Amino acid sequence: MKIKVAKEAGFCFGVKRAIDMINQLPERFPDKKIYSFRQIIHNPQEVKRLKEKGIDTVQSLDEIEKDSIVIVSTHGITPTEQNILKDKQLTFIDTTCPYVKKIHNIAHYLARNNYDILIVGDKHHLEVKGILGYCNGKARVISSSSEVAKIKLSSKIGIIAQTTQNIQTYKKIIFNIINKLFKTKQIEIRIFNTICDATYKKQKETEQIAKKSDIMIIIGGKNSANTRRLYELSKKIQKNTYLIETFKEIRRDWFKNKKRLGISAGASTPDWIIEEVIKKVKEFSE
């Protein structure tokens, strides 16, 4: 069986940067307790590895002891949460992805200039919750083009997207918004392509590999938005697509009469997990 692994599989720039920063912390602060405010990345195995290094994940800032080190996750936080960290005089290490910070700046600009802001993304996702904090209550979140018909739109709109959003979904929503407002006499729409370049490349490459494979494996946290989108894109093309977090979920019968396996992985999936999967698959194909 031939195995094709996506070149873009695994850690994106933002996650790699964050993990590199975090790996240095126990040595930099040997006498300090280190906390992660919410999951650093959406990968349970990597979070477990960091816990073994003494980094605990908390969901509330009230759980953090004084004189501790606090890691801000790659998804970012709201200005209010930043102020709480400062008021508590906690040392915090900001691993927010630079692409997410860029969206914060855009959202702040749009809110300051009285635009109604539409965020295309998952309203429950930590990244989107952080972005909303910069919108001064002037934003709403939508996740599908069908929602456009149901919402009231002003004549001054700014549109931004969650970094891991599907590019085709984003384009369709933008098209529907423009089409809805086309007859308005005076209209201003500012559109920002805030989808991470790595996200777009991963999605495109995954689709290309799926077209040439008779089985696909997508590796990543099942709570990861970008991993889930890779799975959905692949599944549309290749019905024999499986989403796994580790090699332990792989089943031998998946590969019966299969000749071409494609593998892709989400932005929060470390290389060591991908390598374990490849090793296991090779054992099954021997």
- The mean per-residue pLDDT over the stretch 75-92 comes to 93
Predicted local confidence at residue 253, as pLDDT: 94
**What's the pLDDT tens digit per position in 26-44?**
999 999 999 999 999 889 9
Task: Report the distance separating Cα 153 and Cα 248, nearest Å.
Answer: 48
| Judgement on whether residues 139 and 175 belong to the same structural domain of the protein | yes
Give tens-digit pLDDT for 51-73: 999 999 999 999 998 889 999 99
Query: Exposed/middle/buried for 67, CB within 10 Å: 0-12, 13-18, 19+?
Result: exposed
Whole-angstrom distance, CA of residue 136 vs CA of residue 145: 24
DSSP label at residue 64? P
Q: Within this chain, do residues 21 and 65 fall inside the same structural domain, yes or no?
A: yes
Average pLDDT over residues 250-271: 95
Can you tell me the mean pLDDT for 230-238? Answer: 97
Of the residues 137, 170, 191, the one at which a domain ends: 191
Same domain, 72 and 110: no
Residue 174 and residue 129 share a domain: yes
Strand boundaries in 134-252, DSSP class E: 139-142, 156-161, 188-191, 215-219, 241-244
Are residues 132 and 67 part of one domain?
A: no
127 is annotated as an active-site residue: yes
Confidence check: pLDDT of 181 > 90 = no
Smallest Cα–Cα separation from 244: which of 224, 119, 156, 255?
Answer: 224
Examine the domain organization and report whether 103 and 91 are in the same domain. no
Which residue among 39, 66, 95 closes a domain? 95
At 185 the pLDDT is 67
CATH number of the domain within which 184 lies = 3.40.1010.20
CA 251 to chain centre: 27
Residue 5 pLDDT: 98
Are residues 72 and 116 located together in one domain of the fold? Answer: no
Annotated catalytic residue, options 8, 46, 81, 127? 127
Query: Which of 191, 220, 240 is the last residue before a domain boundary?
Result: 191
Supply the range of the domain harboring residue 175: 99-191
If one counts the domains in the chain, the total is 3
How much is the mean pLDDT over the chain?
94
109 and 186 part of one domain: yes
